[in-house]
Structure 1
């Protein structure tokens, strides 16, 4: 797994007009290829009267899945420049759909490439991006008496508490960078006088 990847924080839309044609770029995070395809289908259904709904997406921290469609525009003038813009911005797990309403003025191949790639770039600028950092999940079990202070101490030291569960003991799920695991074990032992139990789990991505 890669240490981090960049995506969009949520769905969003940015629209621009070029020579009377409207280019509406819808962006969304997509954890899987199926999610990306569902988003594309939804945007297409929302704009049945559009001339084109061109799209591109990148799935995988290593960009292992890259797909694009010109949706009737001349080959290579829409989907590919959209995909190239996503890759140029190091976007992953991201899907873009550019809906075009033709305004009567032909743009030519070069104009289309600039328009579709530019629509994605402008939408990314407008919506912003987030970096998802790879974390190791640690499950910490502690008694009720120490739990409240421990949770506060965890948050005050900048560590991410993803979940807190109350039972006979209190269980906290903490997200740790790999480099912090050993230091965290020592810190936890000091903070709880050795009374807390820490068990390492799998890996996940979260906000950096």
Structure 2
């Protein structure tokens, strides 16, 4: 996939419904083992809670998905939690919602809403990024050509990682794969073929809190 939405940094959110506390803890995962370890960690942390329900999805196309009601009425916790993750378009993520019972029964509809809202609160306090499949490349040019190249890069979605000024100018950039060919063509035409282009690798990248992340 050219674009994948993930949780880069997990978070925690809490709601209270009729004195019951619902604490959602979100974590990025890369395997079922990661999910199991995370779920067990949260269960140990909140060992005195009535329920620790969970849901997780794995794979670029969500090939694996699991959920558990952990003692709540069937279909009132795990499935609604999973639906929130899927509805957000996320991949490779696990969430555990811990419930401290407040003494008042919420009913089926109330539980579904509470668990769904808890997950949404957890996601709101997480850092979510969209990984894009990019080409990492270097552009070699003389000092006469750098102005044209910088103009082209400035109006494109390319990310400039660094620029070295020595005997000639070398710019290292990231460009989304779908824009790679058109960018290369534009640079070649603008410099009459004098610029040299070197493709280094394909990688996923994202921008979060002003920083470029390469996966």
Which of the five TM-score ranges fits, normalised by the shorter chain?
0.7 to 0.9
Residues 24-43 of structure 1, C-alpha deviations (whole Å, 9 max, x = no match): 01123334433333332332
What residue in structure 2 maps to residue 139 of structure 1? 137
What residue in structure 1 maps to residue 87 of structure 2? 88
Q: In the aligned structure 2, how far is the partner of 1:38 from the partner of 1:151?
A: 49
CA contact (8 A) 1:136 1:175 kept: yes
Taking the TM superposition and a 5 Å limit, the aligned residue runs for 1:1-208 are 1=1, 3-127=2-126, 129-133=128-132, 135-140=133-138, 142=140, 156-157=154-155, 158-161=157-160, 174-189=173-188, 190=190, 194-199=194-199, 201-207=201-207
Gap runs ≥5 in structure 2 = 209-215
Q: How has the CA–CA distance of structure 1 residues 28 and 65 changed in structure 2, closer, same or farther, with 3 Å as cutoff?
A: same
Tell me how far 1:84 sits from its aligned partner. Answer: 1.1
Give the 3-state SS of the residue equivalent to 2:103 in structure 1.
Answer: coil
CA contact (8 A) 1:21 1:104 kept: yes
The structure carrying a bigger strand percent of its residues is 2
Q: How has the CA–CA distance of structure 1 residues 141 and 82 changed in structure 2, closer, same or farther, with 3 Å as cutoff?
A: same
Q: In the aligned structure 1, how far is the partner of 2:80 from the partner of 2:10?
A: 21
Q: How has the CA–CA distance of structure 1 residues 29 and 164 changed in structure 2, closer, same or farther, with 3 Å as cutoff?
A: farther
CA contact (8 A) 2:12 2:123 kept: no
CA contact (8 A) 2:19 2:103 kept: yes
**How many residue pairs were aligned?**
206
Residues 48-78 of structure 1, C-alpha deviations (whole Å, 9 max, x = no match): 2222211111222211111111222222221
Q: In the aligned structure 1, how far is the partner of 2:203 from the partner of 2:180?
A: 12
Tell me how far 1:17 sits from its aligned partner. Answer: 0.8
Tell me how far 1:163 sits from its aligned partner. Answer: 7.3
Q: In the aligned structure 2, how far is the partner of 1:151 from the partner of 1:206?
A: 23
Tell me how far 1:143 sits from its aligned partner. Answer: 7.9
Tell me how far 1:88 sits from its aligned partner. Answer: 2.0
Residues 58-104 of structure 1, C-alpha deviations (whole Å, 9 max, x = no match): 22221111111122222222111100111122222222110111122
> RMSD of aligned C-alpha atoms?
3.6
Give the 3-state SS of the residue equivalent to 1:72 in structure 2.
Answer: coil
Give the 3-state SS of the residue equivalent to 1:194 in structure 2.
Answer: coil
What is the TM-score of this pair, normalised by structure 1?
0.76
